[in-house]
Copies of this chain bind each other. A is one copy, B any other.
């Protein structure tokens, strides 16, 4: 009962979604299952290209989303949630409810 925490499941989850733009990215992808890089950028008004790329890379690394690259010229990419990513929906939803 007096166990020290941190690195508990709660923090695992927080690490994954608490990047500056991550929760919002997940939210967008829950509503729009497939998004191109430029679509995401358009929706996240103040998020720089650099930041967006960073956040997406981390989300991909953590198994939350999948990136597909099409060998067109110029290159196009799109992003969509994995199953594990979709399971974040209850959390994002309750965060939205609480925030109102």
Q: A42-B2, A43-B2 are in contact. Are A95 and B28 (CB under 8 A)?
A: no
Q: Does A46 contact B (CB under 8 A)?
A: yes
CA of A17 to CA of B13 in the docked complex: distance in angstroms? 12
Q: Is the CB of B91 within 8 A of A94?
A: yes
> How many of these chains are in the complex?
2
Q: Does A74 contact B (CB under 8 A)?
A: no
Looking across the interface, which residue of chain B has its beta carbon closest to that of A9?
B99
Q: How many interface residues does A have (CB within 8 Å)?
A: 37
Main secondary structure of the interface of A (DSSP, over half): helix
Query: In whole Å, how far is A24's beta carbon from the nearest beta carbon of chain B?
Result: 5
**Which A11-39 residues have C-beta < 8 A from chain B?**
11-14, 17-18, 21, 23-24, 27-28
Q: A6-B45, A24-B6, A44-B5 are in contact. Are A87 and B91 (CB under 8 A)?
A: no
